[in-house]
């Protein structure tokens, strides 16, 4: 399955629902957009957290971010706002889904 990162229009909506940045000491935090794309990568490809590409962060960082979004109930708010804005979730994916469903069953 081909993965597409979130576009700028959707990101404007998504970032309204992300956890606020907390002051901290130490290494700089990962960019929230990279982390969110890492979560989307796992959820849309079905891979394991350990298979997250390094460009999105470490498996533990991306997974921890996912858990934080779950605990905050952010996913529901994000997807409702995206739907209200008319965002098309599966741009380019519908054809692949239809083709997969049209295959003849294996005897």
Per-10-residue mean pLDDT of the chain, 107 residues long, equals 84 89 76 94 91 95 93 90 80 45 48
**Residue 12 phi, psi dihedral angles, 5° rounding:** -55, -35
What is the per-residue pLDDT for 91?
55
Six-digit token string for 33: 């957009």
Helices (H), 1-107: 8-14, 32-45, 59-72, 74-84, 94-102
8 Å CB contact between 99 and 92: no
């Amino acid at each position: 399955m081909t993965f597409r990162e979130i576009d700028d229009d959707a990101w404007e909506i998504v970032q309204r629902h992300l956890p606020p940045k907390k002051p901290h000491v130490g290494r700089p935090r990962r960019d929230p957009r990279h982390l969110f794309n890492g979560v989307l990568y796992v959820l849309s490809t079905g891979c394991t957290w350990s298979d997250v590409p390094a460009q999105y962060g470490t498996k533990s960082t991306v997974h921890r971010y996912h858990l934080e979004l779950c605990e905050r109930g952010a996913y529901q708010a994000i997807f409702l706002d995206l739907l209200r804005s008319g965002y098309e979730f599966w741009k380019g994916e519908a054809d692949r889904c239809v083709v997969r469903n049209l295959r003849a069953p294996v005897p």
